[in-house]
Amino acid sequence: MTDTSGTNPQGASDRPARSLGGLYRELDLDARMLGMVGALAIIWIGFQLMSGLTGPTHNILNGTFLTAQNLYNLSQQTVAVAVMATGMVLIIVSRNIDLSIGSILGLTGYTMAMIQAVWIPTTLHLGYDQPYTWIIALLLGIALGAAIGAFQGFLVAYGRIPAFIVTLGGLLVWRGLVFEINQGQTISPLDKNFQLLGGGPLASMGGTGSWILGILACVAIAYTMLASRRKRRIYGFTVRPMWATVTLVVASCAAVLGFVWVMVSYPWPEGLATQYAQDHGIVEPPGGLQIATGIPYPVVVLIGITLLMTYLTTRRRFGRYVFAIGGNPDAAELGGINVRWTITLTFVLMGALAALAGALQAARLQSAVTSLGTQAELDVIAAAVIGGTSFSGGIGTIPGAVLGALVMQSLRSGMLLLRVDSPIQDIVVGIVLVAAIGLDTYVRRRSGR
């Protein structure tokens, strides 16, 4: 919010005193995102301390939450909900809702499993584990999800049926279809390439790959921030002072590299490492072979989806129109925006993302069951809303929703670590959800928005 005085280059004349507050203002940060990072830090440290207290040694310092292994698992568990939350942001921003995504996830996950476990190998007599199997299954699954989304979006946008009703119907219909066709079987085994989407030590980037990815990310962050700063300067707009830009670049890179460091600190499980050593004729050193696991493939997929969706929402017309529709549907229409088509597209995107999440889930479970994705819609909506998406429309961010998914999953995973019973988990998550939104509404009203 420092950037309100456009004709005042770098605020030179009335630069605030070098107080902490002034420095903070010049950084021009998103307060909401900072608040979420803070909340996440509190949750993580809280679970770390409590897991120490309740652990075998009863020592507050021997926590098990902030270990490489747990954070690695947490990152993998967050992926499916986070991927869908990025789509849910656009749905909610344009004043709609999609309750059917859990069922779409189930139906597409089941279909993708059938394609690779039955239809390609048996029905078409092509055999298991063909090199093309995984991509065909994945693309057909995503196409199915997009088609279901298109159908629902069409009913909402052109049929003028409320999204709540259309997708409530979808929730029942698509899940019912899975049960009806599947008759309660578990579909497996899945294609071995497809299973790489599920993560685990064999489906991660490894040490070198992870570091390369991290360094590339840092270069990209530095380039993007400096390029946008340069562009604003060319137009003569106010920009953050150089020290603030550099600080932000360094902080972002530190966060990225810190994440990589945690992921590579998690070594392959002993048994798997021994197996690998035997298969490759390596003599195991004393203490076992140490192989860095690195960033799981599904997390790489999530990073890609987050970047893509952020670009789509902030830099493309489609995203701008979704926000305009959420802010004022009449203004969007009068501005010449094709509102119905845009709404339909948000549902197509949501369906495709639910299908992608279905692939990630099925790959992680190495099978498809009829209950795949049950109640996922609730976690996804909660993640989007905790991440700052407003139910009155027009407000929300993709990175916020991903962070919201991480908060949700941290709560669940932490309580699991503390052996909290499942019903109590639900109670806590429910209370946190309402409290978070209550606090957010209060803060927003206080700040006059």
68/225 with CB nearer other proteins:
225
4/19 with CB nearer other proteins:
4
Q: DSSP of 251-305, one letter per residue?
A: HHHHHHHHHHHHHHHSBPPHHHHHHHHHHTTPPPPTT----B--SBHHHHHHHHH
CB contact set of 71 (below 8 Å; sequence gap of 6+): 262, 263, 266
The C-alpha atoms of residue 105 and residue 177 are separated, in whole angstroms, by 12
Q: Which residue has the tokens 């969007």?
A: 332
276/318 with CB nearer other proteins:
318
**Shortest spacing between CB 323 and other proteins, in angstroms:** 6
Angle ∠(79,134,405) on CA atoms, nearest 5: 5
**Whole-angstrom Cα Rg for the chain:** 24
Residues paired with residue 271 on neighbouring β-strands, in sequence order = none
8/278 with CB nearer other proteins:
8
Whether the CB-CB separation of 199 and 366 falls below 8 Å is answered with: no
Whether the CB-CB separation of 193 and 112 falls below 8 Å is answered with: no
**Shortest spacing between CB 208 and other proteins, in angstroms:** 32
390/410 with CB nearer other proteins:
390
**Shortest spacing between CB 436 and other proteins, in angstroms:** 21
**Shortest spacing between CB 361 and other proteins, in angstroms:** 32
**Shortest spacing between CB 240 and other proteins, in angstroms:** 13
CA contacts within 13 A on the Cβ side of 312: 18
Read off the DSSP letter of residue 238.
-
Q: Rounded to the nearest 5°, which phi and psi values hold at 204?
A: -130, 170
Q: Which residue has the tokens 């966060």?
A: 255
Angle ∠(196,197,200) on CA atoms, nearest 5: 60
**Tokens at 306, concatenated:** 């987050």
List residues binding other proteins (CB under 8 A).
Answer: 1, 3-7, 231-232, 234-235, 237, 311, 315-317, 320-321, 323-324, 326-328, 330-337, 394-395, 448-449
The C-alpha atoms of residue 404 and residue 425 are separated, in whole angstroms, by 17
Q: Rounded to the nearest 5°, which phi and psi values hold at 53?
A: -60, -40
The Cα diameter of the chain in Å comes to 77
Closest CA to 349 of 10, 62, 88: 88
CB contact set of 353 (below 8 Å; sequence gap of 6+): 83, 84, 86, 87, 145, 305
**Shortest spacing between CB 5 and other proteins, in angstroms:** 6
79/345 with CB nearer other proteins:
345
**Shortest spacing between CB 314 and other proteins, in angstroms:** 8
331/439 with CB nearer other proteins:
331
180/330 with CB nearer other proteins:
330
- How far, CA to CA in Å, does 198 sit from each of 111, 123, 127, 300, 356? 17, 25, 22, 11, 11
**Shortest spacing between CB 337 and other proteins, in angstroms:** 5
1/17 with CB nearer other proteins:
1
282/317 with CB nearer other proteins:
317
Q: Which residue has the tokens 């064999």?
A: 202
**Shortest spacing between CB 326 and other proteins, in angstroms:** 7
109/399 with CB nearer other proteins:
399
Closest CA to 178 of 187, 189, 165: 187
**Shortest spacing between CB 224 and other proteins, in angstroms:** 12
**Shortest spacing between CB 12 and other proteins, in angstroms:** 16
